Amino acid sequence: MTVSPPHARHRRAARRIACRAAWASGGLAAAGLTALAYASLVELRWFALRHETVPVLRAAARRPLRVLHLSDLHLTPRQADKMAFVRSCRSVGADLVVVTGDILGHREGVAPAVALLAELAAGTPAVAVLGSNDFHGPMVKNPLAYLTRPSLRRHGTPLDTAGMVRGLREAGWHVLDNDRLRLDTAAGPLDVVGLGDAHIDRDRPQDVDWTAAAEPVALRLGVAHSPYRRCLTAFDRHGFDLALAGHTHGGQVRVPGVGALVTNCDLPTRQARGLSRFGSGLWLHVSAGLGTAVTAPIRFACRPEVSVLDLVHAPPG
């Protein structure tokens, strides 16, 4: 029997290991490309309508209240599929429509956004706040940096924010910026406060009159784009019942079985989307939103969404 020299055996073993490593790395690369293609071509346009029931209404409420909550549309002029989905949401029969910012994704998105939201909320009470992307156009950034820290507050081209706000208000929308509003709805009057976007330090709770409403209301509702804890604490401290926010994109990239990796703010990742509680009893709903920044057009395990919130009476006590 002929025995190969040790160095020959080592070379053959090394070649086998190298071949296996090449196959493995090739498989990982193929899996990564498949996941990227799915995230950018399939899930990005796989819109979902999600339902939640929230036991939050006060005793003064005459009946349940159906809220349509949209966020982070990041609209550009050529998103017919997204706009068609938003129009289809009129069929849910909402009593109130709330948009929690980042409506725009492009400097030419103002007119399409105003027309779309005017159609969506025709004849229905509607409230909106603005996000950072409603003031400035997107800038090219490293999308992987999003996974390591909150996004940088760098500003692109200024957008026609005033024109969009004017168009929305002419269409009947209440656009709030550190403002308070008494809003009549089918369930009764609501006490609503909308804060500016905390992600770019536009929140000014000190400018809001937080005095308790003089008459019974069906709900005290807080609205903000970014669910930073300081905004939620203000709502909770002043006895609000429900806060609606967006900004997080639900994490945008989620790991099955783990969830969101980031929230792009100081909220815990377990609250990156959906319904939860905050502080002494504030209900919080964070929308995963309908879009992404045009510089990072992917979603993974986090479908773009609109939420239908059926608000019902809170249990006694």
Q: What is the pLDDT along the chain (317 residues), one digit of tens a residue?
A: 444 455 666 566 656 655 555 555 555 666 667 777 788 888 999 999 999 999 999 999 999 999 999 999 999 988 999 999 999 999 999 999 999 999 999 999 999 999 999 999 999 999 999 999 999 987 666 555 555 556 655 567 899 999 999 999 999 999 999 999 999 999 999 999 999 999 999 999 999 999 988 899 999 999 999 999 999 999 999 999 999 999 999 999 999 999 999 999 999 999 999 999 999 999 999 999 999 988 889 999 999 999 999 999 999 86
119-157 in b/e form (b: 16+ CB < 10 A) is ebbeebbbbbbbbbbbbbbbeeeebeebeeeebeeeeee
Residue 98 CA, chain-centre distance (Å), reads: 12
Fold of 49-313: Purple Acid Phosphatase; chain A, domain 2 (3.60.21)
Sequence ranges of the domains in the chain: 1-45, 49-313
Confidence (pLDDT) at 256:
92
CA end-to-end span of the chain, whole Å?
A: 89
Burial of 273 (0-12, 13-18, 19+ CB in 10 A): buried
**Residue closest to 287 by CA, chosen among 223, 203, 238:** 223
Burial class (CB in 10 A: 0-12, 13-18, 19+), 13: exposed
Q: Side-chain half-sphere of 283: how many Cα atoms within 13 Å? A: 18
Residue pair 80/51 in contact (Cβ under 8 Å)? The answer is no
Question: Which structure tokens are listed for 304?
Answer: 């773009």
Closest by Cα among 72, 101, 94 to 231? 101
In whole angstroms, give the CA distance from residue 56 to residue 66: 12
Give the dihedral sign, CA 79/150/307/244. negative
Name the region of 16 (left: φ>0; alpha: ψ -120 to 50; beta: rest): alpha
Q: What is the pLDDT of residue 2?
A: 47
Smallest Cα–Cα separation from 171: which of 81, 110, 107, 105? 110
